[in-house]
A and B are shown apart, each in its own frame.
Chain A
Amino acid sequence: MNLLHVLGIFYRNIILIRRSVPKLFALFGFITVELLLWGFITLWVQTLAPAGAASDFILLILSAFIFWSMFDLGQRSFAISFLEEVWSRNIINLFASPVKLSELVLGYILVGVTQALLAFFYIVPLAFLLYALNIWDLGLYIIPFFMNVLIFGWVLGVVSIGLVVRFGPSADILAFFIPFVLLPFSAVYYPISIFPPFLQKLTFVLPTRHMFEGMRTAITEGIVPFDSLVWASTLNLICVLLGFLFLYWMLRLARIKGYLSRLVQD
């Protein structure tokens, strides 16, 4: 592993974020608007709850929103970092350089971590100011959940890259569509008991389902749901392996079929 290669990937993406207004908006703007939207919905739902209801809707819904945003951001940051190279027709230069796939992925992970931390430490105080949400009420075990959320976001980012390599730049829409497809089935804002029985079984393979179900159990029952954490981590680990195998396979196929040069022609 050559750390200068990783630094190159990181530096290339971070300088863009630092001075690009659209990129800053993508990082802070969307999440602010969504926080306002979910915040007002939550305030309204809270007024519908029977008097003396024990549930803290603000903590339940807004903490779920913040964690989902971190997942979404992780995936998007990964996919956009790669798509930037495709859009700027720099992808051939990148693949003709001595950078290994593992160094490319590590560079993107560092970009993702930086973006997630910036967004997290922006949205958490804002949610506290606007809605008195103290996410630290969840306790220290939010850290493994947070890590699981981010890692699964990166895995889907890796899959997005594989899809763009295979199907060309026009597949960029898939990269943005994947988290959106998972949202209804990940039990982010409601418990899995809402799902019909077959869907409850089907969604078991989704790490996000266990992450969000586990977080909700922790908030409503005040206990650390180790089974959710173990399932989320195990499934995540399997997804990491499958995600990397998928990307490796797509790149191998791209070299055989000549898809890489198509990335600058489409």
Chain B
Amino acid sequence: MSAILLRVRNLTKKYNGFTAVDGVSFEIREGEIVSLLGPNGAGKTTTIQMLLALVSPTSGDIEIFEKNLKGHREELLSRMNFTAPYSLLPYNLTPKEGLTVFAFLYGVRNYKQKVKFLLDEFGLSELVSKKIGQLSSGEQMRLGVAKAFVNNPKLLLLDEPTASLDPPTARELRAKILKLIRESSGAVLWTSHNMREVEAVSDRIIFLSRGQIMADDTPRNLKKRFGQEDLEEIFITIAKEPVSESS
């Protein structure tokens, strides 16, 4: 069995009496692509932000590459990366400059080679003279994903990576992400509201609702368990289910 890259145990985040994430536990193994699904406010983004050490958990543990995130923040973050539509690259830099900055921030020594590779791979080479702020939202999204690969991450957190892309571009980007992550034997935690996308990429799906995990299984097993062929129907069913009393 492949190694566990991420282990989350009883992760809880409370804000002034409101429980955003409630005792969440899961694991992600090497090579696995796991989707984190849930309605708005389910706790997906808070979970991802805790995994990135942007938010401190109220309780619980996060172990990445068998080390506790709390005591090894910089070391672990240097082997991870992420992208999200709410976190853009600096609008006043060109794509090449933006990627170069992040290559430095992630300690990439052969940065020129890496930046050129990413610009070519994500179809951004033609846009090198444009400022990031002048790019379309789809181009900015591709750049965000390119940035997420700047350090060959072993663990990638993708928060709606294809949110503003048209279907063909989204499919192409998904294929690139899968190719690059498989080449590096990494793992991905992927959030999306596009159920077809989730089904196409996921080895496993974790459903979150009101901060709690309602289901954690392969797409096939989930369909069997809920007697539904459509993931969207499962999503709606789970979102309506009552959460356990502990919350």
Q: Could you list which residues of chain A lie within 8 angstroms of chain B, going by C-beta atoms?
A: 2, 4-5, 7-9, 11-12, 15-16, 20, 84-85, 88-100, 252, 255-258, 260-261, 264-265
Contacts and interface: CB of A to CB of B under 8 A. Distances in A.
B54 A261 contact: yes
Contacts of A15: 93, 97
A5 B104 contact: yes
5 contacts: A15-B93, A88-B92, A89-B88, A94-B105, A95-B54
A20 B92 contact: yes
Contact of B54 (A84, A89, A252, A255): A255
A95 B105 CA distance: 10
A100 B74 contact: yes
Interface stretch (B2-10, B25-33, B75-83): B75-83
Given A5-B104, A88-B88, A264-B87, A93 B109 contact: no
Contacts of A261: 45, 49, 54-55, 86
Given A7-B104, A11-B104, A255 B86 contact: no
Nearest to A253: B56
Given A88-B90, A96-B82, A97-B77, A260 B105 contact: no
B214 interface: no
Interface string B81-109: 01010111111110001001111111111
Given A84-B90, A97-B106, A98-B105, 11 more contacts: A4-B108, A88-B90, A89-B87, A90-B89, A90-B90, A91-B87, A95-B52, A98-B75, A98-B78, A258-B55, A265-B86
A96 B77 contact: yes
A70 to B, nearest CB: 26
B53 interface: yes
Contacts of B91: 88
A99 to B, nearest CB: 5
Contacts of B93: 12, 15-16
A98 B102 contact: no
A92 B101 contact: no
B105 A16 contact: no
Q: Which 4 A-B pairs have the closest CB atoms?
A: A8-B104, A98-B78, A92-B87, A8-B105
Nearest to A255: B56
Contact of B109 (A4, A8, A97, A260): A4
Given A4-B107, A4-B109, A97 B102 contact: yes
Nearest to B111: A4
Contacts of A11: 100-101, 104
A4 B102 contact: no
A95 B87 CA distance: 11
B55 A92 contact: no
Contacts of A16: 92-93
B154 interface: no
A87 to B, nearest CB: 8
Nearest to A23: B92
Nearest to A88: B90
Contacts of B147: 93
Contacts of A2: 107
Contacts of A94: 105
A97 to B, nearest CB: 4
Nearest to B13: A258
B15 A96 contact: no
Contacts of A92: 54, 84, 86-87
Contacts of B101: 8, 11-12
A162 B46 CA distance: 22
Contacts of B133: 88
B90 A12 contact: yes
A9 B106 CA distance: 11
Contacts of B56: 252, 255-256
A20 B88 CA distance: 20
A261 B86 CA distance: 9
A90 B87 contact: yes
